[in-house]
Amino acid sequence: MDYGCKSEKNGELLKAEGTMKKERTFLMIKPEGVERGLIGEIIGRFERKGFKIIALKLLKISREVAEKQYEEHRGKDFFEGLVSYMSSAPTVSMVIEGENAIAVAREMAGVTNPKLAKPGTIRGDYGIDVQRNVIHASDSEESAKREISIHFGNLDSF
């Protein structure tokens, strides 16, 4: 069965067409999303899509937490700017749960560069530039597990 949610970037995550898998993923509304009053709009999109919010918090994260979050990018030219930016002002972190949550949330976020992201995606609709692209969404099961644990610890009983 084809659920029609394949895309070039996330196709591999959804290649098991017809397999609906209940998952959790980690999302973060970046500082400019909070600053511009987009919290409700963004959370609303995930609620209307049918995802359940498992955990939610608004806070300014430390530089250390931002570095852990983006560990895979350490050494790249944008790393310093990215971790400084992400720890510069409040963000909203959340864990959502639902069918194929990881890949579907990535689809809803859109591709990294807002100029290339499709209209109707969060980045396509609200992103400013590649750093200020409004939202972070985990890119795999492994990342989701790791990122949930960095920001919320053990949520297994929730």
Which residues in this chain contact Mg ion in the complex, by CB under 5 A? 139
Residue 141's contacts (CB-CB under 8 Å, 6 or more residues apart) are 23, 102
78 belongs to the binding site for ligand IDP (CB under 6 A): yes
107 belongs to the binding site for ligand IDP (CB under 6 A): no
Neighbours of 36 (CB within 10 A): 14
Question: Which run of H or of E encompasses 73?
Answer: none
Q: Which of 24, 30, 136, 151 is catalytic?
A: 136
Residue 107's contacts (CB-CB under 8 Å, 6 or more residues apart) are 5, 7, 10, 121
139 belongs to the binding site for ligand IDP (CB under 6 A): yes
CB of 1 to ligand IDP, least distance (A): 28
* Binding piece for ligand IDP, criterion CB under 6 A, among 35-43, 48-56, 60-68, 132-140: 132-140
- 151 is a catalytic site residue: no
Closest CA to 131 of 71, 80, 59, 75: 80
130 belongs to the binding site for ligand IDP (CB under 6 A): yes
CB of 6 to ligand IDP, least distance (A): 18
CB of 25 to Mg ion, least distance (A): 12
25 belongs to the binding site for ligand IDP (CB under 6 A): no
Residue 38's contacts (CB-CB under 8 Å, 6 or more residues apart) are 29, 126, 134
Catalytically active residues are: 136
